[in-house]
Amino acid sequence: MKLHILGCHSATPRSTVFPSSQIVETGNELLLIDAGEGMQIQLRKYKHKFNKIQHIFISHLHGDHFFGLVGFLSSLRLIGREKPMHIYAPVGLKQIIEMIFKLTQTDINYPLFYHELSSPESEIILETDKYHVKTIPLRHRIYTNGFLIQEKPALRKLNIEAVKQYPEIETWAYHNLKRGKDFVREDGSIIPNEKLTLPPTPTKSYAYCSDTVYKPDIIPFIKGIDLLYHEATFLEVHKDLAAKTKHSTAKQAAQIAKDAGVKFLVLGHFSSRYPDESQFKKEAREIFQNVDIAEEGKSFEV
């Protein structure tokens, strides 16, 4: 699992930075989270294939998180997309997009499915055989969700050298061994699974939290995860402004990461009032050491 930053700044786009958007690469899939202006340009720039994206997650209906979506959906039509696209977003986005397409007489020629979100509680919104995605209820000026992506446990790995010591174990039994089952010999004796297999690859987990006030009650949802992206629109010197606009400071994001016991923290959604973004990292490290700042084009291994 990898995180690729397309945009990580708040509100107004500038010549060198872009509003919120990112790609989570899991297996052979690309999951798109938020779609600020210029998102598809960034996809092109960093060579992420449009057709590998089948699921789009929009945190809330502020423009810097979805204004790039309509252009992207239109581009998919122009390049001849045929496979379905699924959008998970607050109630209202479907109406916005369909109105734009109606007034511009744009016909979408591929299946487009909307999964409208309105629950104040965490819920699983996507489940595959390899991972699931849950909402993380946040508190902003309008209805907002974060997203938690968690891999499902993988199969155990065969210890081939150990298996070869028992000629009666044929290939038909390998699947059961990978699923954790013991091997039963013809005389009824059992060879424990632990003697024949190795532990599976550890699962990975990633949480995206933007935009939100300091909200400690999200901690149970992100406890012990591998990577947390948390908004840090302001520095602590402007914590009153953060509270007023329902955003967080770098220090507050670091406190969430520390209290949740996450392995690594990435800060983003920076206000343009700060010319030196290294200040965010410096402030956060007073609370939590394993931290870095997001940057357009930067990738993080989960």
* CATH classification at residue 56: 3.60.15.10
CA angle 241, 245, 247 (to 5 degrees): 85
pTM: 0.91
Tell whether 56 and 133 lie within a shared domain.
yes
Question: How high is the mean pLDDT of the chain?
Answer: 96
Task: Taking residues 171-178, report their average pLDDT.
Answer: 92
Please write the tens of the pLDDT for every residue from 107-147: 999 999 999 999 999 999 999 999 999 999 999 999 999 99
293 pLDDT more than 80: yes
Please write the tens of the pLDDT for every residue from 53-102: 999 999 999 999 999 999 999 999 999 999 999 999 999 999 999 999 99
Contact call for residues 253 and 232 (beta carbons, < 8 A): yes
Tell whether 134 and 232 lie within a shared domain.
yes
Tell whether 277 and 172 lie within a shared domain.
no
Tell whether 146 and 171 lie within a shared domain.
no
State the pLDDT at residue 201.
86
34 pLDDT more than 90: yes
Angle between helix 93-103 and helix 69-78 axes, rounded to 10 deg: 50
Q: Report residue 237 as tokens.
A: 């010197």
Q: Which positions ≥6 away from 294 have C-beta within 8 Å?
A: 5, 8, 229, 266, 267, 268
**Domain containing residue 187:** 161-198
High-pLDDT (> 90) share of the chain, %:
94
Annotated catalytic residues are: 64
Tell whether 52 and 16 lie within a shared domain.
yes
How many domains does the chain divide into?
A: 2
Tell whether 187 and 110 lie within a shared domain.
no
